[in-house]
């Protein structure tokens, strides 16, 4: 942490990618609160001040730790040349606060308690998890492909769950849904409740393995990032099944010629990269080696050590699918892919800091409006909730679709 030079690169998209003064920022938190503490660097410095005893835990510190969507934008920009881990420090700070009994914040805590009681953060009855599922949807018990619905799609964005299973049926995909799916653990993990999240992780893995699922498909970016990156890190081993986001799954089926479009949607769209599908889904690289002073006092990792810098997330799959939908014209915003601006909802922010989440969404919508697009498309139920809130707050005519909803329309 002492290697942070307070350069503020973490506040901006990678400098070489800046194309205008309007859309150069990467960090929703510093955009909202302005004090340096609310940046990747500021949080590292705050954590350093805490562990060196210069400050104690107080309300302000807790707020700083949690008023961050953990979007990882700071991490990408910092690691353009530096070797620091701002995102890991933010997560560690939250975990430390939890261990000391200070975190998470009350509304986030409610989500944690709900999840532990009801298997979902919304406090909805666990036995109503599949209430959205119509009887006419064909499921194939024992199928190799499993659809992991996720809590938000099960209870709050049921239209996305419905679109997903409809699309699968239309394409002729044989799939199953877990009998008693539980939360992926994201709402717990992101607020620092690792041990509680781990229990859910283990439970899910056991259920998936027991159901003989070989490929787990999810339309939720948050669940995807958990399975793809965090599960192996927390559990300490590779998962015994493959995890795909629906965009990857559909891209694969398109490549294999298994999808035939029946309709056309004449529409100019722009695509919002969900942080957890992009930056957050990059697995943690494994490295075994040692540091050697080949030049005195300069440590070199032998063998070279890869950095996790959000660049190997899922960026192309949704675009490749969108480009093949008849009638769709994709125009890009300035901040895309690994330097996309966050919608502002993640990391427990929407629950605890709704105004901040909404302001971030508005900033993103304004960027979308600066393109020629009339519709905004993304691949995440939580992004949908927040971005739709942003559209409404701006009283904009922009329409929002999840990729799976568009697919449902054209098949």
Partner 1 sequence: MELDDNIYKKLVEIVGEKNVSRDLVIRQCYAYNWGNDTINIKRGKESSMFTDTPIAVALPGSTEEVQKVVKLLDEVGLKFKAQSTGLGPWTCASSEDVMIIDLRRMNKIRKIDPKNMYAVVEPYVTGGTLQAELIKLNLNCHMPGAGPMVSPLASSTSMCGPGFTSESTGFSGRNVLGTEWVLPNGEVLKLGSLGLNNNPDWYNGDGPGFSLRGVMRGASGTKSGLGIFTAVAIKLYPYPCDPKWNLSGVSPYYEFEVPNFMKFYILSCKNYDVVEQTMYRISEEEIAFMLWSTSNLALGALFSRNKAELMQLASKATFFKKPLVVLITARTKREFDYKNYVMEKIIEETGAKDLISKGRITPGTLAYCEALRSMMGFHGFLATGSFQSSFGGIDSIAVSFQMVKVNLPIKRKYTKKNLLPDDQGESHFITTYEWGHYAHAEMPTMYNVNIPKTRKAMVDYFDEADDAALYNHLNIPFFIEGDELHDKWGPFVCNYNVWLRKIKETFDPNNTSDSGFYISTKKELEKKKKQ
Is residue 393 close enough to count as binding partner 1 by CB under 8 A? no
Stretch of 185-193, 309-317, 343-351, 360-368 contacting partner 1, by CB under 8 A:
309-317
Residue reference for tokens 């014209």: 329
d(CA 262, CA 264): 7
For 7-41, give the secondary structure using H, E and C.
Answer: CCHHHECCHHHCCCCCCCECCHHHHHHCCHHHCHH
d(CA 363, CA 380): 18
Q: Please say whether the beta carbons of 323 and 330 come within 8 A.
A: yes
x-marked contacts with partner 1 along 324-363 as a string, rule CB under 8 A: -------------xxx------------------------
- To partner 1, the closest distance from the beta carbon of 342 in angstroms equals 16
Residue reference for tokens 């939908």: 325
| Closer Cβ to partner 1, 309 or 386, answer by number | 309
Is residue 142 close enough to count as binding partner 1 by CB under 8 A? no
Is residue 370 close enough to count as binding partner 1 by CB under 8 A? no
Is residue 411 close enough to count as binding partner 1 by CB under 8 A? no
Stretch of 11-19, 129-137, 241-249, 254-262 contacting partner 1, by CB under 8 A:
11-19
| Closer Cβ to partner 1, 4 or 369, answer by number | 4
d(CA 135, CA 121): 26
Is residue 320 close enough to count as binding partner 1 by CB under 8 A? no
- To partner 1, the closest distance from the beta carbon of 189 in angstroms equals 25
Considering only residues 9, 27, 165, 220, which one is a binding residue for partner 1 as defined by CB under 8 A? 9
C-alpha distances in Å from residue 130, one per residue of 121, 194, 391 = 15, 27, 29
Half-sphere exposure of 350 (CA within 13 A, CB side): 22
| Closer Cβ to partner 1, 166 or 245, answer by number | 245
CA dihedral 321, 322, 326, 329 (to 10 degrees): -150
| Beta carbons within 10 angstroms of residue 235's beta carbon | 13
Strand duo 399-402 + 375-378: pairing: parallel
| Closer Cβ to partner 1, 305 or 409, answer by number | 305
Q: What is the token pair recorded at 270?
A: 């722009």
The pair phi, psi for residue 74, each rounded to 5°, is -60, -40
The footprint of partner 1 on residues 95-124 (CB under 8 A) is none
| Closer Cβ to partner 1, 16 or 106, answer by number | 16
- To partner 1, the closest distance from the beta carbon of 63 in angstroms equals 9
- Report the Cα–Cα distance between both ends of the chain, in Å, rounded: 51
| Closer Cβ to partner 1, 100 or 262, answer by number | 100
Instruction: Give 376's strand partners.
Output: 270, 400
| Closer Cβ to partner 1, 311 or 374, answer by number | 311
| Closer Cβ to partner 1, 155 or 315, answer by number | 315
Is residue 268 close enough to count as binding partner 1 by CB under 8 A? no
| Closer Cβ to partner 1, 311 or 324, answer by number | 311
Phi-psi region of 240 (alpha: psi -120 to 50; beta: other; left: phi over 0): alpha
x-marked contacts with partner 1 along 27-66 as a string, rule CB under 8 A: ------xxxxx----x--xx-xx--x-xx--x-xx--x--
Number of residues in contact with partner 1, rule: CB under 8 A? 60
Nearest to 184, CA basis, from 164, 198, 167, 163: 198
- To partner 1, the closest distance from the beta carbon of 405 in angstroms equals 28
d(CA 219, CA 408): 13
Could you give the 3-state DSSP secondary structure of residue 294?
strand
Residues in touch with partner 1 (CB under 8 A): 2-9, 11-12, 14-21, 24, 33-37, 42, 45-46, 48-49, 52, 54-55, 58, 60-61, 64, 76-77, 79-83, 294-301, 304, 309-312, 315, 337-339
């Amino acid at each position: 942490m002492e290697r942070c030079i307070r350069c503020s690169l973490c506040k901006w998209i990678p400098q070489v990618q800046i194309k205008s003064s309007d859309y150069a920022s990467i960090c929703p938190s510093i955009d909202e609160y302005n004090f340096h503490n609310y940046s990747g660097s500021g949080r590292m410095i705050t954590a350093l001040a805490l562990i060196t005893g210069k400050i104690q835990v107080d309300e302000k510190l807790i707020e700083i730790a949690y008023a961050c969507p953990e979007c990882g934008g700071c991490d990408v920009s910092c690691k353009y040349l530096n070797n620091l881990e701002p995102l890991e420090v933010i997560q560690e700070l939250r975990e430390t606060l939890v261990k000391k009994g200070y975190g998470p914040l009350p509304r986030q805590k409610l989500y944690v308690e709900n999840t532990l009681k009801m298997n979902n953060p919304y406090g909805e009855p666990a036995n109503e998890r599949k209430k959205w599922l119509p009887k006419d949807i064909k499921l194939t018990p024992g199928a190799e492909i499993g659809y992991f619905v996720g809590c938000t799609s099960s209870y709050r964005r049921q239209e996305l769950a419905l679109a997903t299973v409809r699309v699968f049926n239309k394409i002729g995909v044989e799939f199953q849904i877990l009998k008693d799916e539980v939360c992926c653990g994201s709402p717990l993990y992101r607020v620092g409740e690792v041990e509680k999240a781990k229990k859910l992780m283990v439970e899910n893995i056991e259920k998936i393995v027991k159901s003989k699922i070989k490929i787990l498909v999810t339309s939720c970016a948050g669940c995807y990032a958990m399975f793809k990156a965090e599960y192996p890190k927390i559990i300490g081993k590779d998962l015994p099944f493959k995890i795909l986001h629906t965009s990857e799954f559909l891209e694969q089926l398109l490549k294999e010629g298994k999808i035939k479009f029946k309709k056309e949607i004449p529409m100019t769209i722009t695509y919002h990269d969900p942080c957890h599908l992009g930056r957050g889904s990059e697995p943690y690289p494994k490295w075994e080696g040692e540091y050697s002073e080949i030049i005195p006092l300069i440590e070199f990792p032998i063998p070279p050590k890869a950095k996790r810098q959000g660049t190997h997330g899922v960026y192309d799959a949704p675009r490749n699918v969108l480009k093949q939908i008849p009638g769709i014209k994709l125009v890009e915003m300035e901040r895309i892919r690994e330097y996309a601006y966050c919608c502002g909802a993640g990391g427990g922010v929407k629950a605890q800091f709704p105004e901040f989440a909404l302001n971030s969404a508005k900033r993103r919508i304004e960027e979308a409006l600066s393109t020629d697009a009339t519709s905004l498309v993304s691949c995440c139920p939580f992004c949908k909730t927040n971005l739709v809130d942003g559209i409404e707050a701006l009283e904009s005519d922009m329409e929002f679709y999840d990729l799976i909803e568009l697919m449902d329309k054209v098949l």
